[in-house]
Amino acid sequence: MSLIGTVVGYVLTVFLLLLIARLVLDWADILGKTPQWAGKARSVVHAATEPVIAPVRRFLPPVRLGGSALDLAFTVVFIAVLILRSVAFSL
């Protein structure tokens, strides 16, 4: 296992954890169960993940499902990070 692959794998793991935090905080906001600190945490997580998700969203806009929308860009980035992480750790 190379040092570069390991470092990239750990960076992608941190980014994956940020994506999971974004998912949980967005769902908590939708359900109306947000504590006071969640607003600040949500803005920090969005600031860290949005630069990666926004370019994908230009090519893959959210799909409307009745009164809500499904963000396919988030799903594509999440799966891509999982794949890249496994490739990086296998180097």
Q: Residue 1's pLDDT is what?
A: 61
pLDDT tens-place values along the chain, 91 residues long: 689 999 999 999 999 999 999 999 888 887 787 778 888 899 999 999 999 999 999 999 888 888 878 889 999 999 999 999 999 988 8
- Gyration radius of the chain over CA positions: 15
Give residue limits of the domains in the chain: 3-90
CA–CA gap between residue 72 and residue 56 (Å, rounded): 9
What would the two tokens of residue 63 be? 């799909």
C-alpha dist (Å) from residue 76 to 4, 16, 20: 24, 12, 13
Scanning the structure block, which residue is given the tokens 């947000």? 34
CA–CA gap between residue 47 and residue 41 (Å, rounded): 10
